Structure 1
Amino acid sequence: MKLFHVDASAKRETSNSRALARFFIENLRSQGVEVEVDYLDVTVDTPEHVTQAFAVATYRAENERTPEMKATLAASDALCKRLFAADAFLFAMPMYNWSMPSTFKAFIDNITRTDLTYKKAKNGELIGQLTRQKTLFITTRGADLRPGTPYSSMDALTPALKTAFRFVGVNDPRFVDAQPLQFSDQAARAAALMRAKEELVDVAAEWAAWEYARLGLEALEAA
């Protein structure tokens, strides 16, 4: 399995989202899955924020782009190529002020590309192209935003991620959210992390079964 793994936490050794992502990959490998990780830390290699030049170039037909336009889009093109090459996506991030880190928003802006990650059909419908990959979002939240809690209506992260990735073809992503962490006592934090780990063990088992089925189908097709 080729796994494209993106971390977006500004923290390093103390990051819960990074630790949970590593925990998930370890569990996936413990299921016997051969995992080839393509890793990106957007806090270190942050995609360029959208500029006027980028906006102009991305909507120009590929055969009409100048060398300058092609250079402007080169890093974005490379990111999109990595997405298409992957069999699965793992995106790990904290919630910052109800939504995603700005570094990950820059990543989304760079991989939402007309005639590349989404295309327009003859009837005008926009069709996302990243339809074959499994997708998992691991998020960490300071407060408890689960349904039925006082802050549940303030979760702008989940709908934003679902909308952005549905646009490029990811229609059924999985979410594992560790919460509450920052604004809770030690027992509540420990319980939140344990719940997340239990969910990740289940997701790893599901992905392993999917990977074995996928490889089996490829073997039959090659026979």
Structure 2
Amino acid sequence: MKLLHVDSSILGESSVSRALSAELVHKLARTIPGLEIRYRDLAAEPVPHLSGAYLAGASIEAADRAPELQQDLALGSELLEEFLAADIVVIGAPMYNFSISSQLKAWLDRLAVVGKTFRYTGNGPEGLAGGKRMVVASSRGGFYAGTSLDAIEHQESYLKAFFGFLGIDDIQFVRAEGIALGAEQRTRSVEAARQEITLLAA
């Protein structure tokens, strides 16, 4: 089996989502013999945001493409293929300003490709990337789930909608909330998330 591990936090070693996603991958590797792991750090190696040239690039003959465009198209193809090849996808996804990081959004934009991960039909869009298991290590400074702030939560809800559109319905979230409310709360939240990881990986 193949696992794709993606981190998107800009906080480096201080990141809760990175710590949780790493623990997830470590425990899954211990329970799945021969698991092949591919890692991508979207903060260390950012994916360029989409451009008009990139979207139009597929219709341009290869010989007529500028070198920069050719490199961008090659990267997009690489990102898509490694995602499609994965049986399991683990994502470290912190909440930034009620949503996901721009680094993660840039990566997602390279995955939504008509004819590859979804298609339009007479009955509406159809996802083509189903059959994967997805686990998201989610971190949030405050408390949102089940509170009055749930209405402005566009992090987990967006990821669930996005991957659902691609046909992936097996998506689980390991969540650490309230991590900005002091060291004691951060420790409690991270420990609770780690207990969830143990259950998920079992």
Same fold per superposition (TM over 0.5): yes
Give the count of matched residue pairs.
Answer: 197
Q: Given residue 197 of structure 2, which amino acid in structure 1 is its aligned partner?
A: L
Q: 2:20 touches 2:137 (CA, 8 Å); kept in 1?
A: yes
Equivalent residue for 2:171? 173
Instruction: Give me the TM-score of the superposition, normalised by structure 2.
Output: 0.90
CA contact (8 A) 1:137 1:176 kept: yes
Aligned-partner SS, 1:46: coil
Distance across 1 between alignment mates of 2:164 and 2:53: 26
Secondary structure at 2:37's aligned position in 1?
A: strand
Which residue does 1:66 correspond to in 2? 61
Structure 2 unaligned blocks of 5 or more: none
The equivalent residue for 1:101 is 101
2:199 counterpart of 1:202: yes
Q: State the AA in 2 paired with 1:142.
A: G
Separation in 1 of the partners of 2:93 and 2:53? 29
TM-score (norm: length of structure 1): 0.82
Q: How does 1:28-177 map to 2 (within 5 A)?
A: 28-57=28-57, 60=59, 65-67=60-62, 68=65, 71=70, 72-121=72-121, 123=122, 125-147=124-146, 149-177=147-175
Aligned partner of 1:190 in structure 2 is: 187
Cα RMSD (Å): 1.8
Question: 2:134·2:170 contact (CA, 8 Å) conserved in 1?
Answer: yes
* Seq. identity, %: 27
Q: Which runs of 4+ in 1 moved over 4 A?
A: none
Other-structure match for 2:25: 25
Distance 2:50 2:137 in 1: 25
**Alpha carbons 2:25, 2:90 under 8 Å: kept:** no
Mapped to 2, the partners of 1:74 and 1:167 lie a distance apart of: 24
Contact 1:143 1:151 in 2 (8 A): no
Deviation at 1:119, TM superposition (A): 2.2
Structure 1 unaligned blocks of 5 or more: 206-223
Letter in 2 for 1:176: V
Cα separation, 2, equivalents of 1:13 and 1:161 = 24
| Structure 1 CA distance for aligned equivalents of residues 26 and 39 of structure 2 | 15
